[in-house]
Amino acid sequence: MLVPVTATAGRAASAPPPFAFTGAIEGSYGPPWSHADRLSAINWMAANGLDIYIHAPKFDPYARANWRDPYPPAQRADFASEIALASRLGVAWVPDISPGLPEIPGPPASVPSTDICFSCPADVATLEAKLQPFFAAGARTLMISFDDVAKASTHPEDLARYGRGDAAYGNMNRDLLNTVARHFQAQAAGAPFRLFTV
């Protein structure tokens, strides 16, 4: 449910916002919003001067436990129509994928999946392929999250390359994010592109 607030309260409607982005993140531990909810949210945000929507529901198995698996075609079609609406209204629609090892469990996954192997080209390619339909639909800001995940990899390839500990996990994140960013920047061909993380 959206809470009706006035986004421009306390400043003139024509004044620039005090932040680089103003918007909403759908990131709670609960049922994801429906397609109709998201369309309503995008329209409301545009009408109130907000410019970013981040799709990161924690109970979306395709974004977390089953991050390797493609979204079903009907869901991809919903996302594409939301991205198109958001683009027309000046709102960035940002998909978020969280390929780490969750510390807080979500709903049971229909297909068991493991955390990403940062050192494995096949896993990196799988993550890029997961984000590709969003990019193809017009999303020019993507997000890869590592919040609420264990700061460790379960893969021996990563342990051999990076070692253990917070610094090692940070280096794994850095290398993955840089690789994915370069992949999509090349496709953007000089047009604006952003990769967010948390």
* Active-site residue list: 148
Give the whole-angstrom CA distance, residue 38 versus residue 32: 10
Backbone angles phi, psi at 116, to 5 degrees: -70, 145
Question: Which token pair is 102?
Answer: 């969750």
Conformational region of residue 164, where left means phi above 0, alpha means psi within -120 to 50, and beta covers everything else: beta
Structure-token match 């967010």, residue found: 196
Task: List C-alpha distances in Å: 101 to 98, 138, 187.
Answer: 9, 29, 29
DSSP 33: P
Structure-token match 């429906």, residue found: 34
Backbone angles phi, psi at 102, to 5 degrees: -60, 135
